[in-house]
Amino acid sequence: MTILLGGDIGGTKTILRLVDCQNSSDSPQPRLITLDQEIYPSKQYPDLVPIVQQFLARQTTIPPVEKACFGIAGPVVNNSSELTNLSWSLTGDRLSHELQIERVKLINDFAAIGYGVLGLAPEELHNLQSAPTVPEAPIAVIGAGTGLGEGFLIPVSKGKYQVFASEGSHADFAPRSSLEYQLLNYLLELYNIERLSVERVVSGPGITSIYRFLHDSNSSQSSPAMAEIYRTWLAEMGKPQKTVDLAAKIASFAQDDSDDLCYQTMKIFVEAYGAEAGNLALKLLPYGGLYIAGGIAAKNLPLMTEGSFMKAFRAKGRMRELLSNIPVHIVLNAQVGLMGAVSCASQL
């Protein structure tokens, strides 16, 4: 029995999972049996250590944890991280010492998703494009949520992969139509910036930015209900407490087909998302599969599957045929990052 600890550490919540890792002679991947799991409100604690101590204190009959891995919502450098939305400063060495765990590794939350996709079951995926999987080929991961994450996996031996995060989401946004050129210029002026990254469009905040662009161009297409929500959102800008998640409302109105501006917003978003996924696929040729993670895709399956995403994904001129042979999946399991942290711990 080898006891592992995995964690998904975010600004709002911390999820911990305790696992029994059992090696198998007939599979390159160990069998990971969940023993316990709990969610904690991150901001109610001064550090990760007391959360883990509280979690482990209720384990009275289980051997000590040998290895731990924590996926961090923020940059990780030399096994250290200054969390973006928390006043926590974490290092693997300090956590190892204070928690008395032999090996502790910190990884970026999107790298954790990269590890996690390897353990997903078929029912935890929605296939957008079926194609034969090539085991020797790279795997690509992209996911829009609060921001946009991109990463990839490279096979190193049978059933084993090395996972890499990237900063591909900060590449330039590339307009593909006159409307997207207008969007580009609008956002450059709105934010008073010299360049626009793709993350400014393909993300939750990107959805609100697209909506603002369309609303300022033709507010008469907004329904009365959405217009009131938008006014409330504008009034709450800059305030610590907010009552409106504008991106979620836009997506909801778009799926209900009850607001023209919301539907147009999500159409632009989905097409830009598909185009960026196609750009990532061109650079990696991930015949091992391209996985779409992040909260937005799974919560908006009707919009993601109606055709615009894959049309933009494949619209790469002479390279269309190459992209048509890449398996593309939407990840449905919201805890894929936690799964990945546990998987990474098993490889330490």
Which pLDDT belongs to residue 65?
93
Coil vs helix vs strand at 238:
coil
Residue 317 maps to a domain: yes
Residue 59 maps to a domain: yes
Pair 282, 257 in one domain: yes
State which H helix or E strand residue 313 sits in.
helix 308-314
How many domains does the chain divide into? 2
Residues 38, 29: Cα–Cα separation, whole Å: 25
Which pLDDT belongs to residue 208?
96
The amino acid sitting at 266 is M
12 is in an annotated binding site: yes
Residue 204 maps to a domain: yes
Residues 338, 195: Cα–Cα separation, whole Å: 34
Pair 215, 295 in one domain: yes
Closest CA to 281 of 333, 311, 316, 318: 316
Domain span at residue 185 reads: 169-331
Pair 260, 173 in one domain: yes
7 is in an annotated binding site: yes
Which pLDDT belongs to residue 251?
96
pTM: 0.91
Which pLDDT belongs to residue 282?
97
Coil vs helix vs strand at 39:
strand
Pair 243, 313 in one domain: yes
Which pLDDT belongs to residue 24?
67
Which pLDDT belongs to residue 22?
83
Pair 301, 339 in one domain: no
193 is in an annotated binding site: no
Is the CB of residue 144 less than 8 Å from the CB of residue 273? Answer: yes
Which pLDDT belongs to residue 311?
97
Which pLDDT belongs to residue 159?
74
Which pLDDT belongs to residue 298?
95
Closest CA to 7 of 246, 327, 342, 347: 342
Pair 193, 286 in one domain: yes
Dihedral class, residue 307 (left if φ above 0, else alpha if ψ from -120 to 50, else beta): left
User: Within a 10 A sphere around the Cβ of 221, how many other Cβ atoms?
Assistant: 15
Which pLDDT belongs to residue 320?
95
Pair 324, 226 in one domain: yes
Pair 64, 212 in one domain: no
Token digits of residue 50:
């007391």
Which pLDDT belongs to residue 1?
75
Residue 243 maps to a domain: yes
Residue 26 maps to a domain: yes
Pair 202, 78 in one domain: no
Pair 317, 269 in one domain: yes
Which pLDDT belongs to residue 195?
96
Is the CB of residue 125 less than 8 Å from the CB of residue 116? Answer: no
Pair 183, 308 in one domain: yes
Q: In this structure, what CATH number is given to the domain that contains residue 324?
A: 3.40.367.20
Helix (H), strand (E) counts: the chain: 13, 13
8 is in an annotated binding site: yes
Pair 229, 300 in one domain: yes
9 is in an annotated binding site: yes
Residue 155 maps to a domain: no
User: Within a 10 A sphere around the Cβ of 210, how many other Cβ atoms?
Assistant: 27
Residue 162 maps to a domain: no
Residue 141 maps to a domain: no
Is the CB of residue 104 less than 8 Å from the CB of residue 341? Answer: no
Q: In this structure, what CATH number is given to the domain that contains residue 28?
A: 3.30.420.40
Tens digits of pLDDT across the chain (348 residues) = 789 999 999 888 899 999 998 876 666 667 888 999 999 999 899 999 999 999 999 887 888 999 999 999 888 999 999 887 788 999 999 999 999 999 999 998 889 999 999 989 999 999 999 999 998 999 999 999 888 999 999 998 877 889 998 889 999 999 999 999 999 999 999 999 999 999 999 999 999 999 999 999 888 888 999 999 999 999 988 888 889 999 999 999 999 888 999 999 999 999 999 999 999 999 999 999 999 998 899 999 999 999 999 999 999 999 999 999 999 999 999 999 999 999 999 988
CA atoms within 13 A on the CB side of 235: 8
